[in-house]
Structures are given as C-alpha cells and as structure tokens.
C-alpha cells in the first residue's frame, strides 16, 4: 500500500508540477533588480551601461519594424540625461492604445502607398512626408516611434514668443545667455536686442542664447517649459515631452515624426513664423566694441532648392541629426520631418528633398494617414498598446478581486491532488478487502 501511495503521489506531483509552479512562481521568486537610475553622481561610471552599441555612422537606415522605440528613445550615449541630485525623474509618457493619424500609423516600418520608391540615401530611423495644407500623410517610417528632437523643438518657444511678446521690445544680453551650452547666435553681455532679432537668431541660427533670453521675457525657464508642453498638448501631440525649450538633451526629452509634422504644420500657419524661417539672412547687432554681423539661415533645403520653404535643423550627440523642411513643387507644398539620421549618405536636407520628391507620385487623397486625426478614443487616458504577439494576461471580471484569482490558481491544483490521493486510498483498501 505504501508503495502504491508513493508511486501515485510522485506521478501526480510530477504531472501537476508545471501548473503548480506557474501558479506560485510569482509569489516565491524575488523580482529581478532594476538597473540603477542614471544620476549626476554616478553618470561617469555608467557610461558603458548607457552605450547601447548604436553606431554614429550608418550604411543604411535602422530597422524599426519591431517598434524598438514605442515607449522611449534609445539609451543615451552620453551623460546628457543624467538626473541631477534632487532633480526630477524623467517623465514617462503613456503609449496610446490607438495612435493618432489613422490605423496605418500603428506600424513602425516604412508606410507608403503603391508607386513610392524609397530613396537609397536614406539613413534616418524615423521620418514623415506630409501635405502642409491638407495635413495628408504621404509616406512615413516609424511615425510614432519616440526620438530626441534636438533644436527642431525650438519651433514651440518661437511660436509662443511671437504670440506673447512685442517684436520691438528691447532685451539686454546677460552673461548666462552669452555663455550658454550649445549653439549660439552670438549675443553679448550688455548687448541690446529686439525680440524680433532674437527670433531670427533662434530660428535661423538655432541660437540657444536667443532662446534663453526669450524664455526670461516669457517668465523664466520653468514658466516657459510649462507653456511649451501645454502648447504641444493643445496641438495634439502624443509622444512629445519637452525637457528643454532649446532642444538640448535632458531626462525625458521625447518626440516623434508624427508629432513634429503636426507641430510644424501648426507653426507654418503662423504668418510671422513662416516669414522668419523663409529669411535668407538678417543683420544682427554687436555689443560693446564688437561690430554687428550677418546671421544666415542654416536650412540647406531652403537655401539650395528654389522651391524651398524654411524649416529648422537640429543636432545633439544623442539625438543625431534632425530636420524639418518643405518644398513648393508646382503649387503643392510638401513637408518632411527627419529624426535620428546621419550624414553618411547625404545631409539631412538632401534626404528630406529625396523623400519629398519620391512622394509626389502619391496623388491627393491617396496617402497613408491624416495629421490631426485622433485615435479611437480622443478624450480618454492613453494606455499602453500590447504587442501583437503577446497573449492577453488573465483579467478579473467586473468587481472580482484579483487576489481571489491568484488563490484559485494555487488551490485548484492542490485540491486535484488531494482528490486523486483519496481515490487511490479507496481503491487500495477496497482491493485488500476483496483479497
């Protein structure tokens, strides 16, 4: 009898152990430790951890078919996004279940209609080609993938300054502005500038010094960041968080090709913005003993193509090259957004021009999406999109406590073992009586 019981028990335990183990593993196994957060204090020691092996030169565009940047940009190669002691943790944006722009915008690879031929010089991770006037999306790659914008995000502070500040208002240059990190138009401490001159320095030469002075006139850094992010939300962005109004990399900085197309479509509707970015050069004042100088538009598409419409350039070590520009081809105004590209096969403006020209085969109404088209539930809180291959997790019915489900997953297999053991005992004793 004892041999029979042991054999039965062993067999049942082996048979049911996968079920029992699966039911109890989440309660018995310790959680995997999370990697340490990057802070200003440990950033230098985490350089290797931050380097995810992404090359700074490319032979071809990265494969994004598997949506590698659905939730956040790639890990920074530098310590630009280290959180300062006492600083705020990066903002984590929710991933909408249904992305804006139409159903095809949920894809992460190249999205294009029949007849579109992808240019060979293309090395960007994400891009979008769209009609400035109708908002129709003609072609795209990883439209809602999240990347760093660099200086193309300056369009937002530019718009707010145009709307809220008197263009003739005088602003005095400061030491902080003159010595700011990154690209500068060339303001000097004690120099006097109009808001209009600073706007040209901001949008033509990507001056972080001009951005800083405009932000102080708008109420300071924090107030300006709040306004910039609020404007991005009002425009309808889903993937954008502005951590710095100048475009310098900082914790949480994020945008997408779709969002930037939406922002620039909105910006180009502002007559003053459109006029500034369509300017070849302006005279910029000097300061002290320093003479004035000319500030030229750094947008190659506008400066090199007779059909060019001014936009914006951008670059940081972690964002790589970014670009926004447009062409007016025989009355059809087509824009392009380029994110995370290199210059191995061509400058960003050259890549944009080839993408625009390749998209001209798409007739109006035959595009792949629409800027401003909301997701399935426009006014609901976005939730994370599940991966297509993932099986849905067990869900509790309405009003049912998930703890009860966990208990049931453990109790049911044990109950089955007990019932089978009792049946085995009954069979064994009955056999002995008959013998």
- 80 given a catalytic annotation: no
Report the DSSP pairing between strands 369-370 and 136-141.
antiparallel
141 is catalytic: no
Q: What is the DSSP string of 103-148?
A: GGGG--SEE--TT----TT---SEEEEEETTT-EEEEEESTT--B-
Cβ partners under 8 Å of residue 385, min gap 6: 70, 95, 96, 97, 98, 99, 106
* Catalytic entry in 125, 183, 206, 256: 206
The pairing of beta strand 110-111 with beta strand 332-341: unpaired
State which H helix or E strand residue 98 sits in: none
Considering the candidates 107, 151, 183, 359, report the single residue annotated as catalytic: 151
Alpha carbon distances (Å) from 283 to 58, 212, 286, 388? 38, 20, 10, 55
Distance CA 57, CA 307 (A): 30
Token couple for 78: 């530098």
Provide CB contacts within 8 A for 360, sequence distance 6+: 329, 332, 334
Q: Are the CB atoms for 127 and 355 separated by under 8 Å? A: yes
183 is an active site residue: no
Per-residue 3-state assignment (H helix, E strand, C coil) for 170-227: EEECCHHHHCCCCCCCCCCCCCEEEHHHHHHHHHHCCCHHHHHHHHHHCCCHHHHHHH
CB 239 within 8 A of CB 146: yes
| φ, ψ at 259 (rounded to 5°) | -60, -40
Question: Which residues are tagged catalytic?
Answer: 151, 154, 206
């Amino acid at each position: 009898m004892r041999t029979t019981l042991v054999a039965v028990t062993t067999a049942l335990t082996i048979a049911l152990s996968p079920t029992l183990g699966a039911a109890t593993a989440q309660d018995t196994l310790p959680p995997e430790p999370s990697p340490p957060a990057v802070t200003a204090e440990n950033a230098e020691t985490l350089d290797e951890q931050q380097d995810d092996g992404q090359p700074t030169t490319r032979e071809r565009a990265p494969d994004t078919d598997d949506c590698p940047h659905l939730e956040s940009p790639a890990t920074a190669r530098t310590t630009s996004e280290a959180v300062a002691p006492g600083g705020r943790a990066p903002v984590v944006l929710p991933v909408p279940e249904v992305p804006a722009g139409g159903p095809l915008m949920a894809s992460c690879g190249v999205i294009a209609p029949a007849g579109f031929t992808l240019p060979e010089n293309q090395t960007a991770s994400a891009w979008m080609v769209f009609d400035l006037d109708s908002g129709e999306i003609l072609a795209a790659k990883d439209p809602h993938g999240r990347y760093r914008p660099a200086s193309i995000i300056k369009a937002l502070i530019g718009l707010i300054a145009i709307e809220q500040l008197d263009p003739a208002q005088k602003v005095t240059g400061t030491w902080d502005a003159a010595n700011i990190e990154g690209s500068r138009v060339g303001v000097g401490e004690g120099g006097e500038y109009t808001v209009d001159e600073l706007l040209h320095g901001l949008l033509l030469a990507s001056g972080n010094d001009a951005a800083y002075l405009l932000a102080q006139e708008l109420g300071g850094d924090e107030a300006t960041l709040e306004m910039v992010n609020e404007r991005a939300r009002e425009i309808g962005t889903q993937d954008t968080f502005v951590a710095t109004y100048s475009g310098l990399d900082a914790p949480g900085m994020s945008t997408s090709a779709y969002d930037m197309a939406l922002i620039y479509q909105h910006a180009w509707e502002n007559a003053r913005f459109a006029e500034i970015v369509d300017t070849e050069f302006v005279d910029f004042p000097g300061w002290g003993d320093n003479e004035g100088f000319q500030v030229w538009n750094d947008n190659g598409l506008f400066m090199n193509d007779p059909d060019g419409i001014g936009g914006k350039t951008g670059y940081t070590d972690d964002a790589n090259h970014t670009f926004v520009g447009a062409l007016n081809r025989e009355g059809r105004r087509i824009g392009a957004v380029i994110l995370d590209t290199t210059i191995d096969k061509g400058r960003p403006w050259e890549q944009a021009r080839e993408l625009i020209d390749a998209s001209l085969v798409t007739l109006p109404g035959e595009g792949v999406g629409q800027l401003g088209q909301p997701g399935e539930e426009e006014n609901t809180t976005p939730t994370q999109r599940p991966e297509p291959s993932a099986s849905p997790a067990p869900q509790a019915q309405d009003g049912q406590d998930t703890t009860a489900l966990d208990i049931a997953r453990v109790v049911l297999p044990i109950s089955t073992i007990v019932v089978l053991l009792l049946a085995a005992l009954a069979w064994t004793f009955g056999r002995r009586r008959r013998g």
